[in-house]
Amino acid sequence: MKTFTDKVKAIQAETGGNWLLNLSPEVEKLPLDIQRYDDPFLPYLRVIHRAAAGMVCGYVFDLGAYLRMGAAGAVALERSIDLVGETHLTILDSGFGSDRYVTLWEETAFGCDALTLRDASLLAAYSGRADRCAFIVGGDESIPAYDASGRIFRVDGLTLRMLPEDTLFRARSLNFEDTLREVLAQAVADAG
């Protein structure tokens, strides 16, 4: 079994970068041709993944944004993680404050590689699997940490940086996939 750090290194070598893309979908901000679907989040991610696959090493899924859609959002989140999880990191931005949710990253639930926690005292409860990582929001560099203001994840000397939150919404157009490629390339160059 690969450790989480091994997976990060392998994906970074494959994609050539340390960029993460935040997925916090809002139906009303999706491209119009995607909004027409009854369950638009999965088709939205398919287009994003085709456009971004070579530019990002992973995706950060905003749990709250998906759950706004109720059961359909939860299903879309699970399917989205399955779609990209073999080739990219999947981080569930949940900010949990309890150890009761450890099973969320199991293969029988969302199957994500990592998630965010609010309290460093919970780290031990979420350390049972070497292939998973719990990032502490606001933690220091001695533990896996997520600096939300700087949009940086750190673990074992590795740094993962999230592209600006509005990156996907800036690409909203009739030709979303091509526009997204251009916007992502520019965002990576600007954040450089």
In order of their start, the domains of the chain are 4-191 (3.20.20.70)
- pLDDT score recorded for residue 92: 96
Q: Evaluate if residue 113 carries a pLDDT over 90.
A: yes
Distances (CA, A) of 111 to 115, 138, 175, 191: 10, 24, 31, 30
Give the CA-trace dihedral at 107, 109, 115, 121, to 10 degrees.
Answer: -100
- pLDDT score recorded for residue 139: 87
From the CB of residue 90, how many other CB atoms can be counted at a distance below 10 Å?
25
- pLDDT score recorded for residue 1: 65
pLDDT (tens digit, 9 = 90+) per residue, 40-59? 888 899 999 999 988 999 99
**Banded model confidence at residue 183, pLDDT cuts 50, 70, 90:** very high
**Banded model confidence at residue 77, pLDDT cuts 50, 70, 90:** very high
Mean per-residue pLDDT for 63-74? 89
Alpha-carbon distance of 179 to 177, in angstroms, equals: 6
Distances (CA, A) of 89 to 12, 113, 179: 10, 6, 23
pLDDT (tens digit, 9 = 90+) per residue, 1-26? 689 999 999 999 988 789 999 999 88
